[in-house]
Amino acid sequence: MNENGTAERHDVVVVGAGAAGLSAALVLGRARRRVAVVDAGEPRNAPAAHMQGFLSRDGMPPAALLAVGREEVARYGVDLIDGRVEHIEPAGPAESGFTVHLAGGPVLHARRVVVATGLRDDLPELPGLAERWGEDVLHCPYCHGWEVRDRPLGVLGTGPWAVNQALLVRQWSADLVLFAHTLELTGADRERLAARGVRVVEGRIVRVVADGGRLRGIELASGEVVLREAVFVFPQPVPRDALLFGLDCARDDHGWVTTDRTGRTSVPGVWAVGNVADPRAQVVVAAGTGAAAAFDLDHDLVDEEIGRAVALSRASGVALPA
C-alpha cells in the first residue's frame, strides 16, 4: 500500500523471478512500463549446480543467472519485491485490471499480470533418492547428460515413461541399465531396449545407496547393489498454478493452463509463461516465453491506451490532430 492506503499501481505485475519472469520484466522495463516483480525465492532448478544449453551462459550456476537478471531489470526501474503473492483478483467494476495481494498485507494494482511461478518436481518415494536429487540423481539428459557421459548410468523404472527415457539416455553412455522396478515391460519394449544396448535389471528397488557424498548404486529387494555413478528418473511435474486457477483460467485435458503462443490465457489481461505452462521448457526456452509475452502484452496496453484516447477525444468533442 501507499502511505495514503491505496494499492500501488503498476502497468504490469510479474509473479516469479525466474528466467521467464525476469525476461518479461526486462522487455517491459525497456518499453518504459512500470513493472513490479514479486518472487518467493523457490526456483525449480535450485538443486542444480549448473545449467546447460543456454547459449553464452552454458555451465553458469542458476542462482548467478538470476542475480544478473535482477541487476539488469533494476536498471530499467523495475521494482523487485521479495514476497509471496497469495491471490489475484479482478480489480472490480470501478476500475480495470487486477488487485495483487501479497502475504503480510501489501497490495498492488496491475493493468496486466504475468504469472511465471514455475513448477515443483515430485519425486518417487524411494529412500535416498531426494538426497541426491540434482547431484547424481538426474532427470534430463539434455541438461545433464554431457556431465555424466561414458559413466555407468541407470534409469529408474518408476513410471511408463522410463523406457523411452532409457532409450534416450543410451546416447550418452554405452554402460546403461534400466531398473525395471514396477514396470511391466512388453516384448516390444524389451526388443527395443536390447537393440539399443540397454541392459534390463529385474527386481524392485528398495533404496538409492550413497557413500562419501556420492551415489554408489541401487539396492534391490534381493539385497544386491547394482553399482552406478548416476541415475535418471522422471519426476512428476506439478505446476504452481493456484493463482491462475483462482482467476478461472482454462485448463487442458491434463490439467495444465492453456495459453496461446504468446502466453495469453483464457482470461483477458493474464499471461502464463515458463514452466507453469510448459513443464518441458528449459531455462533458455522459458526466457524466450517471457520475452514473447512481454512483446504481446505491451501491444495490448498500447491498443488500450489508443482506445481510451480516442474515446476521450470523442466525448470532449475535440478533434485529434491530423
2 is a domain residue: no
Q: What is the pLDDT of residue 49?
A: 84
116 and 12 share one domain: yes
Is the pLDDT at 44 greater than 90, yes or no? no
Grid cell at residue 219: 539396492
Q: What is the pLDDT of residues 85-101, one digit of tens each?
A: 999 999 977 678 999 99
40 and 83 share one domain: yes
253 and 216 share one domain: no
204 and 296 share one domain: no
Query: What's the domain range around 221?
Result: 124-232
CATH number for the domain harbouring residue 39: 3.50.50.60
**Domain-terminating residue out of 232, 266, 299:** 232
**Domain-terminating residue out of 232, 264, 283:** 232
The tally of domains found in the chain comes to 2
303 and 207 share one domain: no
Q: What is the pLDDT of residue 46?
A: 83
Q: What is the pLDDT of residues 168-223, one digit of tens each?
A: 999 999 999 999 999 999 999 999 999 999 999 999 999 999 999 999 999 999 99
Mean pLDDT, to the nearest integer, of 18-41? 97
**Domain-terminating residue out of 212, 232, 252:** 232
Q: What is the pLDDT of residue 96?
A: 84
**Total-model pTM:** 0.92
322 is a domain residue: no
Asked whether the beta carbons of 148 and 170 are under 8 A apart, the reply is no
Grid cell at residue 117: 511461478
* Beta strand segments in 41-152, E: 79-82, 85-90, 98-102, 107-115, 119-122, 137-138
Q: What is the pLDDT of residue 3?
A: 47
Beta bridge partners of 251: 257
Q: What is the pLDDT of residues 229-283, one digit of tens each?
A: 999 999 999 999 999 999 999 999 999 999 999 999 999 999 999 999 999 999 9
302 is a domain residue: yes
